[in-house]
Structure 1
């Protein structure tokens, strides 16, 4: 899925009667990056997009939402929504439907070798649980690095500052569950 969220971001910002500078202050995302996102010149990190959504009183799914065709219980192979960010360095395959009443996100995250999820750690309400399927993943959590290898899992409270780093020479593939819904 190619992200073309600039128009949605700009329209929501204007609906809230916010300048780019005001949105920058509320979201801790630079004015330059917001301007580039609104013109679809860059694809933001998931963290930046989450910060913008939070500042605009919505959730990140607002930028990806498509009207559901019908009640969907099963998503067949090849039909999962995949969000690609950071110039093809991170891939988020969403394992859940777009239902508004769901409380849980499930996804497969692929981080390319040498890739960092975001520069700044993220804090938010909820819980996260991840399992490494392939490669290795460093989880920076509350000031400490935890290195996970194939078959390792981690569970933590999302209010602790955290970010994900692939210091390895191969892509890391992991599966994650998180609350509240992020996408």
Structure 2
């Protein structure tokens, strides 16, 4: 087996592990696909695709699903981001890229961690043609395109952002990104969502026991 084939095999194994663990955890909690989807701000179809290993969630989608199920986000990241000390600079040469399972989208953590902090930020590298899944969640976020171009859709309205363009909006509005170009896009993202899974997690509370799918 070549090195490339071995890497693909490892990627599929990691993706399969992510799908299996999320599916098993949901069933353990007795939650339906719809219950998880509604609580995470995602579609039922997308949750089903994740559990079947057909789709790889974005970082924000993984965070939303993980918090609903009460599991640690870091368990599903390859090359886990390390928080910087308060007021310590983040050197480009020292930053490690990380990803969700075998996703082609990679991230670089640039925000630090200290008591009471609410802002998180990453540099996102999106390959040509990548389309993120629509999602809505609490908080707010800002995207600044460092290189390339992306289409941002918010509540059904599409806006094309080129290098140097930015957009700031409430995360409660359904939003997604799409690299519509044939070149990679680099985006600076800053928001209040706990994309690193540092806040305590508890399973989503259900008033009634449901039959899991």
Same-fold call, TM > 0.5? yes
Question: Could you tell me which of 7, 17, 24 is aligned with 2:33?
Answer: 24
Does the 8 Å contact 2:26/2:32 carry over to 1?
no
Greater helix proportion: 2
Q: Following superposition of structure 1 onto structure 2, how do residues 115-126 of structure 1 map, counting pairs within 5 Å?
A: 115-118=130-133, 121-126=134-139
Question: Could you tell me which of 177, 183, 199 is aligned with 1:170?
Answer: 183
> Could you tell me how far 1:33 is from its partner in structure 2?
3.2
Residue 135 (1) aligns with residue 115 (2): no
Q: How far apart, CA to CA, are the structure 2 residues paired with 1:165 and 1:70?
A: 30
> Could you tell me how far 1:169 is from its partner in structure 2?
1.3
The structure whose RCO (Cα within 8 Å, separation 6+) is larger is 2
Residue 34 (1) aligns with residue 51 (2): yes
Change (3 A) 1:62 1:179: farther
1:110 aligned counterpart, secondary structure: strand
For the pair shown, which has the larger CA radius of gyration, 1 or 2? 2
Does the 8 Å contact 1:45/1:86 carry over to 2?
no
Does the 8 Å contact 1:116/1:166 carry over to 2?
yes
Q: How far apart, CA to CA, are the structure 2 residues paired with 1:67 and 1:138?
A: 27
Residue 56 (1) aligns with residue 69 (2): yes
User: Hey, what does 2:118 align to over in structure 1?
Assistant: 103
Q: Following superposition of structure 1 onto structure 2, how do residues 87-98 of structure 1 map, counting pairs within 5 Å?
A: 87-97=102-112
User: Hey, what does 1:159 align to over in structure 2?
Assistant: 172
**Mean Cα displacement is larger for which, 161-170 or 101-110?**
101-110
Q: How far apart, CA to CA, are the structure 1 residues paired with 2:145 and 2:83?
A: 33
Does the 8 Å contact 2:84/2:112 carry over to 1?
no
> Could you tell me how far 1:112 is from its partner in structure 2?
0.6
> Under a length normalisation based on structure 2, what TM-score does the superposition of the two structures give?
0.64
Does the 8 Å contact 1:61/1:182 carry over to 2?
no
Does the 8 Å contact 2:74/2:80 carry over to 1?
no
Q: How far apart, CA to CA, are the structure 2 residues paired with 1:90 and 1:69?
A: 20
Change (3 A) 1:129 1:90: same
Unaligned runs of at least 5 residues, structure 2 = 1-9, 38-46, 197-213
1:78 aligned counterpart, secondary structure: helix
Residue 80 (1) aligns with residue 95 (2): yes
> Could you tell me how far 1:151 is from its partner in structure 2?
0.7
User: Hey, what does 2:5 align to over in structure 1?
Assistant: none
**1:52-91 deviation line (CA, Å, top 9, x unaligned):** 2131246735645979799463333333242224745211
> Could you tell me how far 1:16 is from its partner in structure 2?
9.2
Q: How far apart, CA to CA, are the structure 2 residues paired with 1:133 and 1:180?
A: 21
